[in-house]
Amino acid sequence: MDAAHTIRNAVAQVAALRLDAASIPSLHAATTAVKSFQAKRFAGTYADLLASVEYAGAARFFLEDLYSDKDYSQRDAQFARIAGALQRLFPQQVVATAVSLAELHMLTEELDRQMATAWMEGAGASSEVDPVARYVACWLSVGREKDRYRQLEMVLNVGGELDRLTRTPGLRLMLRMMRRPATATGLGSLQNFLESGFDTFAQMSGKGARAKEFLATIQVRETEWIKRLFTDDVSTSVPALRSCIANVR
């Protein structure tokens, strides 16, 4: 499957899941609750990085562009519109990043949908007043442990590709030159993502060493959460998760 087809297929599946959820108010509300909770969990897990000088930009980029509860439909539509042009106009490294992002987005939306369905149908309903306990119950109900690790691997892959892009000669100039035509043709959201990702990783010092440290931190902490939520007793995983998000607003 070529890059353009992969991107269009991923975007179409995400759009279908969102359209279906939007047509069912209770499912839409559950999806919003799950995504919002996950964004808070990320913010709590990486509060130190978000407050640091060196890593705040990268942590914020991950929170807002990969782990966020934001609506990505505009960016997705733009990815689909230029899927074919990507292969003709952009360096192969940019194409690979776009494909990785699309595939990550598709898996994330699928997992979130199953979590939302479990939330809506009452997994952990006895703990409805405690969203932390309810989230853990939904996580265990959905399962798919291998896909959780695959999702993390894909997140790290997108980060690694963005880091490599910063060392592609002339790419930043190319992105800057694309800004006006991209905006004029309705591709501003996609352009902003590419520029933001490029600049975020370029600003970390150490010629890639800092980026590798950042991604290694993501890998360690996310792996710990996955293991905890799948293997720990609920009596320990719920308090740990509650503590993680306690100070997030």
- 28-59 pLDDT per residue, tens: 999 999 999 999 999 999 999 999 888 888 88
13, amino acid identity: Q
pTM of the model as a whole:
0.84
Whether the CA torsion 73, 21, 137, 227 is positive or negative: it is: negative
What φ, ψ does residue 67 adopt, rounded to 5°? -115, 10
Tokens of 135: 């989230």
Distance of alpha carbon 181 from alpha carbon 177, whole angstroms: 8
Distance of alpha carbon 50 from alpha carbon 237, whole angstroms: 23
pLDDT tens per residue, range 191-242 = 777 777 777 777 775 656 888 899 999 999 999 999 999 987 788 889 999 9
Pair 119, 29: CB distance under 8 Å: no
Distance of alpha carbon 236 from alpha carbon 243, whole angstroms: 11
Percent over 90 (pLDDT), the chain: 33
Q: Which whole number is the average pLDDT over 9-14? A: 82
Model confidence band, residue 107 (pLDDT cutoffs 50, 70, 90): very high
**CB hemisphere CA count around 200 (13 angstroms):** 27
Q: Which residue has the tokens 């279906």?
A: 20
**pLDDT score of 20:** 87
Strand spans (E) along 14-99: none
Minimal CA–CA distance to 4: which of 120, 87, 114? 87
Tokens of 31: 């999806």
Distance of alpha carbon 208 from alpha carbon 221, whole angstroms: 20
